Structure 1
């Protein structure tokens, strides 16, 4: 039996221990153990909460190139049946962050042994799935000291084959915001509805009204989404509900549309409060800035990969996906791209099973690109 590639094994080890945002203690420990096993002469390691900064000193640096990998999992019960499926109940690497980490470790290993002229900064970021780790990491003293001049990141894409990447200049991922709306009225006996303010009825009315925002308040040539994914309310079948809660998400392709959508939500919610004589509160939870790829760097990356590697580059369309890497791109020129991993099941699915060959593929072509940029 042939020996498994060490970075595929690392991915499997990490897949066993998915952890939610800012709770990635085992993950951080695993990463640090590996990083500390590497030659330490030209490497510096600093931690922030459950995240890690890794700096590799260049031979004669004129700039710093950054690379970001996210490290958290999702609250999903895994259904892959894999021999290395999650050991953590109700938690899974269903977004491929285990792949992201193993690729980053492969790149670090390569550049520790094959130093280039420029400095490199690798960022293992917690809480990408929520509540968001990119923005607070940007504001650390470590980032101030080691801030890169450019930065890149990838995200696995089940719909593309191994050996394919997808990317575009400009807007890649949408602006996103969570949405939580709590309604509180007067409950009571089901036989006396006229003595109550039914929050189930109010919540249903609110859901219908929220959908009119996209149809009637957003430019048809723009794009926006309001999705209510969860409604809770009431206690038993014969009591009129005193409380209800809506949980959802907002996604827009422009910052202006996000502001407009939220303004309309607030107006509609206020109207429901008046109309149903209830208290209504809005919480936007985590908000992620759009992922906007710097045009020149992205074009240069696409041209390099086409000419210097055997990777097939696909120019994709923007997506309503949310990614807090957008905060880093707001401060640092750079880009994100999709990495093909050819899985039958998509992101955030309990049966997501990426093709692990993509790990070695990614390490090889990204190390070539970083070497080209840093020498």
Structure 2
């Protein structure tokens, strides 16, 4: 099986975070089909896979990480290899896996004298699967950790990264307002949680958050149209320069909610979901990568910090790390997590070759 065939198979069978059972099987079958005893293949973090290429005993590994989960999005590409279920690889993780597989084949073919750990990681979209992987490889000596992410923000054959914070710290947050139910005909007997949520949003939208993005994308509340709503939940996300700054933002949101509930005799509580630290690109790796790309006359963009969230931040907390965008746009731009986002197969061999040449520079 070649990398493009693997991509097609993976794209047709996308699975959401920590449910990547078929994805894991496909990856295991593909890796085992290489039939090379230099490659040790194991399951990791429940539904993930790790492939160890160890040719120098007691020497550190270079980690190459590819995320494997899809999204609960119905695909609308009309591609011949479209998803066969109600999920979709709308964030390009099928491409990530295929590039990693192609890199493994190249490393085996050319017998590189460097230890590599290829991690096919579950649960990137939600649940911070990187944490579970790190728990299982804590005894593995690591030199560097590397990962990429496709995007149609940039043209095909363009690579973008930055020195320092590439992706912001990202935190899922729910604010739950609690009131008291009552028949709508006796409105004053109840305490309206939807009203509390509305008052809160009015205050929220007039509050400025420096160097951060804070937003609520979903509201859930109430039991019936003629009952005062006893509970309403605002579901949102915070993107900031650090986990510490995020905590300050949460404190501000709590103060706003407290002001609302004191006036309405209701109550509230805040729940945090997945929390991803920022992805920090190591300065030395950044300089080496930039110089390599410029020398190879590959279009390079220093993109600065993005408000994207990525649990590769957990890797960058532990090891000198490099992460970068690889451009895929050849026509219309849809953006990540869009039902029509579909990078072409051509990006797989192109970026695999670029990364392979860079990996040789690191040895």
- TM-score range with shorter-chain normalisation? over 0.9
Ranges in structure 2 where 5+ consecutive residues have no aligned partner: none
Q: Does 1:126 find its partner at 2:125? A: no
The Cα of 1:181 is off from its aligned counterpart by: 1.7
The counterpart of 1:319, out of the listed 306, 316, 320, is 306
The Cα of 1:136 is off from its aligned counterpart by: 1.8
The Cα of 1:195 is off from its aligned counterpart by: 1.0
SS in 2 for 1:347: coil
SS in 1 for 2:155: coil
The Cα of 1:147 is off from its aligned counterpart by: 3.6
The counterpart of 1:93, out of the listed 89, 94, 111, is 89
The Cα of 1:190 is off from its aligned counterpart by: 1.9
SS in 1 for 2:102: helix
The counterpart of 1:174, out of the listed 168, 176, 187, is 168
SS in 2 for 1:157: strand
Q: Is the 8 A contact 1:59 1:115 kept in 2?
A: no
SS in 1 for 2:248: helix
Ranges in structure 1 where 5+ consecutive residues have no aligned partner: none
Q: Is the 8 A contact 1:80 1:353 kept in 2?
A: yes
* Corresponding residue for residue 72 of structure 2: 75
TM-score, normalised via structure 1 length: 0.92
Q: Is the 8 A contact 1:163 1:310 kept in 2?
A: no
SS in 2 for 1:280: strand
The counterpart of 1:230, out of the listed 189, 206, 218, is 218
The alignment's C-alpha RMSD in Å is 1.6
Distance, in Å, in 1 between the alignment partners of 2:85 and 2:191 is 42
Q: Does 1:55 find its partner at 2:52? A: yes
The Cα of 1:51 is off from its aligned counterpart by: 1.0
TM-score, normalised via structure 2 length: 0.95
Residues 17-42 of structure 1 deviation map (CA, whole Å, 9 limit, x = unaligned): 11011110000000000100113221
The Cα of 1:365 is off from its aligned counterpart by: 0.8
* Corresponding residue for residue 155 of structure 2: 161
* Corresponding residue for residue 373 of structure 1: 362
Between 232-241 and 11-20, the greater mean CA deviation after superposition: 232-241
The counterpart of 2:335, out of the listed 346, 355, 364, is 346
Distance, in Å, in 1 between the alignment partners of 2:204 and 2:229 is 21
